[in-house]
Structure 1
Amino acid sequence: MYAVIINVEDQRFVWIADGGKRKFDQPKKKNLIHLELLQTICSEVVDSLKESGRVTNGKLRFALKKYVDQMKSEAQEKGE
């Protein structure tokens, strides 16, 4: 399952949302030791959070789908 970190509470906890099951208005608090962090930043999500302090659930779903599709595409290229 993929999600976007939408807020960092402290060095130990973050708030995540995926725009589907876990909406922006009801994020899940997660301990970092339970997550596998990926070094990917979605500029659309970052810009939205900086401008308004919010991000739409549609934008979260779009960012996650774009990432998953990119990973699948790269995996197929390596397999060929």
Structure 2
Amino acid sequence: MDESSSIPRLGQIAKVIRGRDNGKYTVVIHVVDERYVLIADGDKRKFDNPKKKNILHLELQDEISAEVVNSLNETGRVTNGKLRFSISRHIENIQTDEHLKGE
């Protein structure tokens, strides 16, 4: 992982690699500082009750959800539906990529 990809960005999809939610995908909804972010998935972890997470416990994905970023910039919040949609679309993209590589 290069240095630029270890800096979390608003709307970035992340995979939890440590803790109770290990293996789950989530979205960065706020960057607290260089070590911590607030994450939510719109399902178990709603926007109004985000989890503060050390970025060392996350595997940041290349994908950044434009819908989430736009919504946060315009209104300061994002719907849980948009979070769920962004995550499900990311998972579909991963499965499609894996399927194409497998052929």
Q: TM-score, normalised by structure 1?
A: 0.98
Task: Name the counterpart of 2:77.
Answer: 54
Aligned to 2:15: none
- Per the alignment, residue 21 of structure 1 pairs with 44
Is structure 2 residue 88 aligned with structure 1 residue 65? yes
**1:2 lines up with 2:25 in the alignment:** yes
| Residue 41 of structure 1: how far off its partner (Å) | 0.6
- Distance in 1 separating the partners of 2:97 and 2:57: 26
Could you say what the CA RMSD is over the residues aligned between the two structures, in angstroms?
0.5
Identity across matched positions, percent: 56
Structure 1 gap segments, 5+ residues each: none
Structure having the higher strand fraction is: 2
Query: Structure 2: which amino acid aligns with 1:73?
Result: T
- Give 1:44's match in structure 2, choosing from 42, 67, 78: 67
Equivalent pairs, count: 80
Q: Structure 2: which 5+ residue stretches go unaligned?
A: 1-23
- The residue number in structure 2 matching 1:11 is 34
TM-superposition CA deviations, 1:19-57 (whole Å, max 9, x none): 000000000000111111112111011000000000000
Aligned partners of 2:58 and 2:86: how far apart in 1? 18
User: What is the CA–CA distance in structure 1 between the aligned matches of 2:57 and 2:48, rounded to whole Å?
Assistant: 22
